[in-house]
Amino acid sequence: MTAEHVAAIDRAHLWHPYSPSPASMAALPIARASGVHLHTMDGRQLIDGMSSWWAACHGHGHPLLVAAAHEQIDAMSHVMFGGLTHEPAAALAAKLVELTDDALTRVFLSDSGSISVEVAIKMALQYQRGAGHPERSRLLTWRSGYHGDTFAAMSVCDPDGGMHALWSGTLAEQVFAPPPPVRGSSAEIRDAYLADFEALVGPDVAAVIIEPVVQGAGGMRFHDAGLVAGVRRICDRHGVLMIADEIATGFGRTGELFVTSSVGVTPDILCVGKALTGGFMTLAATLTTAAVAGAIATPAGGGALMHGPTFMGNPLACAVALASLDLVGTGYWRESVPRIEGGLCDGLASLADLPHVADVRVLGAIGVVELREDCDMAAATEAALAAGVWLRPFGRLVYCMPPFISTTDQVARICRGLRAAVTACGKA
Ligand SMILES: *Cc1c(COP(=O)(O)O)cnc(C)c1O
């Protein structure tokens, strides 16, 4: 097919994320992806400044992941997980247990981040029933979060950004605290925040769910790790479970393997996804403790964890995830993420002086420019493309998450693309 043919069929028949049909902005046809690059069907080479939404952390088509996929697909691409098991799932579970906190020993494999959050919520509710607290049936979270697009996950997304008004009467009504104070807030502000947060833990709260340190699609906001430790203490005081959604932050993005373990916090339930397969295919996991699993296994807890996707434990995805975690295990990103962080700081700092820019912030391999008003998405995307960079701004945010393999020059180019996008928004 030609690029025009692909674009025409796409426009006539395909839905894209958060878009009407037909879409208001044409999607860009991509032929191949390798390393940090996307190759368009019309022959352009672009740097994937988004790591394809946090996932392609080692770049695209990493030879070790490609080899793992080839080897696995020749043996077995998929078998049902009900009653059957296999080495890729077993080895991946062992690896996840090894990489995460010692207390997290039970692994539920699912097909996407949203589903891993659904499973986390089921685990928490079934746990509370098993622990003799069926009245604990709601979730507490802070605003400006994002946990996915399925209904239970949506119910804990930021109520405004998640368009709860559209779903009122349909979505479970959860308990919302204000957004966490931004990184660098004083100890007084943090303590006051945590006191208010604790006051929201009513007798009907089963669990707290948060994205620790980095809130992703709900606003790309950063907060201090002290708040995460504070939430852990609050959960302990009230017999409430702590769910850490590290789907975006897990596997090195912030410069730490997981932000929770790096600050000595063990969640009761941990969700991982996105970079789990290095961006190769879809897979997520929900990890929990023996205590949570034990309560679920009691008659009051339901006796069994009531979830079981058709493609649970998909061997192909597990084999690739295992190869990706081997790469994570080499620790190469412990050098490259701080280097990328430095490059983003250097390359983006000057934008803070622009009148239409509200804030510039960098943490690990995440660079965010927050505008005062919504960006002109088409103009911003075009400007970045002209600089050879693929970015996907939304709302007031123009941001990037470079692949960990990005060279210093490539990070500088991503910053040029981002500056061009931000400048284009200023002209609109
Ligand atoms: C992307 C994301 C999800 C949802 O994952 P999907 O694979 O898109 O379903 C959930 N939580 C966080 C923090 C995310 O960044």
The model's pLDDT over 337-390, given as tens digits with 9 standing for 90+, comes to: 999 999 999 999 999 999 999 999 999 999 999 999 999 999 999 999 999 999
Atom number in ligand 1 closest to CA 215:
13
Q: Pairing relation of β-strands 138-142 and 175-177?
A: parallel
- Count other Cβ atoms within 10 Å, centred on residue 310: 10
- In total, the chain counts a number of residues equal to 428
Kindly report the average pLDDT of the chain as a whole number: 97
User: What spacing in Å lies between the alpha carbon of 44 and ligand 1's midpoint?
Assistant: 29
**pLDDT score of 402 more than 90:** yes
Q: What is the mean pLDDT of residues 83-111?
A: 98
Architecture in CATH for domain 76-330: 3-Layer(aba) Sandwich (3.40)
Whole-angstrom distance, CA of residue 226 vs CA of residue 67: 41
- Write phi, then psi, for 369 (nearest 5 degrees): -115, 120
Q: Over the stretch 134-150, which tens digit does the pLDDT of each residue have?
A: 999 999 999 999 999 99
Q: Which two tokens stand for residue 137?
A: 């049936």
Does 428 score more than 80 pLDDT?
no
Looking at the predicted structure, is the pLDDT value of residue 162 above 90?
Answer: no
Class of domain 3-63+332-426: alpha beta
Question: What is residue 319's predicted lDDT score, i.e. its pLDDT?
Answer: 98
**H/E element holding 348?**
helix 333-348
pLDDT reported for residue 165 = 84
CB within 8 Å of 134: residues ≥ 6 apart: 128, 300
211 lines ligand 1 (CB under 6 A): yes
Atom of ligand 1 nearest to the CA of 273: 7
Predicted pLDDT at 329: 97
Q: Which of 371, 267, 307 is nearest to 116 (CA)?
A: 307
Over residues 15-38, the mean pLDDT reads 96
Q: Which of 360, 412, 408, 418 is nearest to 386 (CA)?
A: 418
Centre of ligand 1 to C-alpha 114, Å, is 6
Q: Do domains 3-63+332-426 and 76-330 have the same CATH topology?
A: no
The domains of the chain are located at 3-63+332-426, 76-330
Distance, in Å, from the CA atom of 104 to the CA atom of 269, rounded to the nearest integer, reads 8
Say if ligand 1 is within 6 A of residue 248 CB. Answer: yes
Residues 263-280, mean pLDDT to the nearest whole number: 98
Q: Report whether pLDDT(181) > 90.
A: yes
114 is in an annotated binding site: yes
Angular region, 213: left φ>0, alpha ψ -120 to 50, beta rest: left
Question: What was the pLDDT predicted at 331?
Answer: 97
Q: Is the pLDDT of residue 163 over 90?
A: no
The confidence score (pLDDT) of residue 272 equals: 98
